[in-house]
């Protein structure tokens, strides 16, 4: 009975379960939800992460929030750092071959993961594990046995493999090992559930298959939808540069939320906030009846920053945003720069302080009318510096500096 796990009423359990189930993509088998509610001992839930890109973003929040609910119901999350799988590298990626990470890097990244993950997860109910721990020891013999558990034909069913195969693009053998090893992790950890984004569905299902082949109890598979990045088109990812990082400042997070396409507002609300279905309907109604989407984005930004930082910081971020962008005023805090002691050209000054990567770029900014001193636009890119103390230099829309 659930109450044996943790002190929760039947009603609490029902509510939490409903909250958990909301918006999930796949639940295989469906009975997994019952099991979550009625388990008599904590279920072991695996969530894997690739340590080569240790910056988590709000796209990860979708799954992490779900995991947190499970923890609150008394279950255990095994946060798996795929340090071994990351070390294999991926030579076919047309970017560059992944560099193997040193164990120091892995450690550092794992630490960084923790600070990020524990913004959402409960440390007391989270176990961090590294798959190199057992995969390092896997012998060739065992590797062959593992490979024998799956066929090429079935492997090629995976979307991206299928696509590449039909387009006669290369697939390296070791790429087949990825899903196998990921599944093998579940065999070793004896997970009851594995969670991930929908892009992980195939790999996660492999865990089920392999557990069965190895004569273990079979894990349930639960996937959550992927969140598009701030461009509203591609999935959120750091390498695409369309992400909002969990560790970014509240102001940046808020600003980035304000830059998502209006069509993404409801999706963001449903995936990364605790908005109830009723609220979502209300928001949809408001949008349909012509409410300025700006206000909903503000609400979204406030909720996100409140959650990741604090309500106070959220209000500050909102105020600063409106101050700078709606009222076109200067922000309250801005970096302070000293006035150069010797005659300096604006372009040199700007490059010196990182306002532009080259003098050429600096003069372009000036020619575009993007640089102003106390509201007065600088026009001459050849001019010499003439700032005075307390004056405010503005570069572009959102960079402000004050002279001292």
Partner RNA sequence: GGAGGGAUUGCAGAGUGGCCAAAUGCAACAGACUGUAAAUCUGUCGGGCUUCGCCCUUCGAUGGUUCGAAUCCAUCUCCCUCCA
Binding site for RNA (CB under 7 A): 91-92, 94, 168-170, 231, 241, 251-252, 254-256, 258-262, 292-294, 297, 321, 325-326, 347, 351, 357-361, 363-365, 368-370, 381-382, 396-399
The torsion defined by the Cα of 49, 197, 119 and 296, in degrees rounded to 10, comes to: 150
> Minimum distance between the CB of residue 129 and RNA, rounded to whole angstroms?
33
Look at residues 73, 53, 70, 101 and name the one whose alpha carbon lies nearest to residue 3.
Answer: 73
Question: Are residues 333 and 339 in contact, defined by beta-carbon separation less than 8 angstroms?
Answer: no
Question: Are residues 56 and 114 in contact, defined by beta-carbon separation less than 8 angstroms?
Answer: no
CB atoms near residue 59 (< 10 Å): 25
Report the distance separating Cα 112 and Cα 58, nearest Å: 15
> Minimum distance between the CB of residue 347 and RNA, rounded to whole angstroms?
6
Given the complex with RNA, which of 353 and 364 has the nearer CB atom? 364
> Minimum distance between the CB of residue 395 and RNA, rounded to whole angstroms?
7
Given the complex with RNA, which of 72 and 90 has the nearer CB atom? 90
CA 270 vs CA 19, 251, 260: distances in Å: 11, 22, 15
> Minimum distance between the CB of residue 302 and RNA, rounded to whole angstroms?
14
Given the complex with RNA, which of 79 and 321 has the nearer CB atom? 321
Given the complex with RNA, which of 261 and 311 has the nearer CB atom? 261
> How does DSSP classify residue 94?
S
Given the complex with RNA, which of 42 and 232 has the nearer CB atom? 232
Given the complex with RNA, which of 15 and 383 has the nearer CB atom? 383
The torsion defined by the Cα of 136, 138, 139 and 142, in degrees rounded to 10, comes to: -160
Report the distance separating Cα 223 and Cα 28, nearest Å: 9
Tokens of 328: 């076109």
Report the distance separating Cα 17 and Cα 92, nearest Å: 41
Report the distance separating Cα 148 and Cα 176, nearest Å: 12
Tokens of 251: 């102001």
Given the complex with RNA, which of 239 and 338 has the nearer CB atom? 239
> Minimum distance between the CB of residue 263 and RNA, rounded to whole angstroms?
8
> Minimum distance between the CB of residue 171 and RNA, rounded to whole angstroms?
8
CB atoms near residue 63 (< 10 Å): 22
Report the distance separating Cα 258 and Cα 262, nearest Å: 9
> Minimum distance between the CB of residue 240 and RNA, rounded to whole angstroms?
8
Report the distance separating Cα 61 and Cα 58, nearest Å: 5
Report the distance separating Cα 347 and Cα 378, nearest Å: 11
Given the complex with RNA, which of 130 and 346 has the nearer CB atom? 346
> Minimum distance between the CB of residue 168 and RNA, rounded to whole angstroms?
4
3-class SS at 263? helix
Given the complex with RNA, which of 124 and 382 has the nearer CB atom? 382
Report the distance separating Cα 136 and Cα 139, nearest Å: 8
> Minimum distance between the CB of residue 248 and RNA, rounded to whole angstroms?
9
CB atoms near residue 115 (< 10 Å): 11
Given the complex with RNA, which of 212 and 399 has the nearer CB atom? 399
> Minimum distance between the CB of residue 371 and RNA, rounded to whole angstroms?
8
Q: What are the beta bridge partners of residue 395? A: 371, 399
């Amino acid at each position: 009975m659930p109450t044996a796990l943790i002190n929760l009423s039947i009603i609490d359990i029902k509510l939490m379960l409903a909250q958990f189930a909301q918006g999930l993509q796949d639940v295989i088998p469906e009975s997994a939800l019952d099991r979550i509610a009625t388990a008599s001992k904590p279920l072991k839930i695996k969530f894997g992460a690739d340590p080569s890109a240790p910056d988590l973003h709000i796209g990860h929040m979708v799954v992490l929030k779900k995991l947190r609910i499970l923890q609150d119901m008394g279950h255990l999350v095994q946060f798996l750092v795929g340090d071994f799988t990351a070390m294999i590298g991926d030579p076919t990626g047309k970017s560059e071959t992944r560099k193997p990470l040193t164990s120091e890097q892995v450690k550092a990244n794992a630490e960084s993961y923790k600070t990020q993950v524990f913004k959402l997860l409960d440390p007391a109910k989270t176990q961090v594990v590294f798959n190199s721990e057992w995969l390092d020891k896997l012998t060739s013999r065992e590797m062959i046995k593992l490979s024998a558990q799956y066929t090429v034909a079935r492997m090629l069913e995976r979307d991206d493999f299928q696509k590449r195969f039909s387009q006669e693009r290369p697939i390296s053998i070791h790429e087949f090992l990825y899903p196998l090893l990921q599944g093998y992790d579940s065999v070793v950890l004896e997970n009851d559930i594995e969670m991930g984004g929908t892009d992980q569905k195939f790999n996660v299902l492999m865990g089920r298959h392999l557990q069965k082949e190895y004569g273990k109890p079979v894990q349930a598979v639960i996937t959550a939808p992927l969140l598009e990045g701030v461009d509203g088109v591609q999935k959120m990812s750091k390498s695409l540069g369309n992400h909002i990082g969990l560790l970014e400042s509240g102001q940046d997070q808020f600003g980035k939320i304000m830059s998502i396409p209006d069509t993404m507002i409801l999706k963001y609300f449903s995936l990364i906030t605790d908005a109830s279905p009723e609220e979502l309907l209300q928001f949809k109604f408001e949008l349909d009846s012509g409410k300025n989407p700006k206000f909903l984005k503000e609400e979204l930004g406030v909720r996100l920053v409140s959650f990741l930082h604090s309500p106070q910081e959220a209000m500050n971020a909102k105020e600063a945003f409106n101050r700078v962008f709606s009222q076109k005023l200067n922000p309250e805090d801005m970096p302070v720069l000293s006035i150069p002691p010797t005659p300096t050209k604006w372009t040199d000054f700007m490059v010196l302080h990182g306002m532009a990567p080259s003098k050429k770029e600096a003069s372009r900014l000036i020619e575009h009318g993007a640089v102003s001193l106390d509201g007065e636009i600088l026009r001459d890119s050849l001019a010499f510096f003439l700032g005075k103390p307390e004056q405010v230099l503005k570069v572009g829309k959102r960079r402000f500096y004050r002279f001292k």
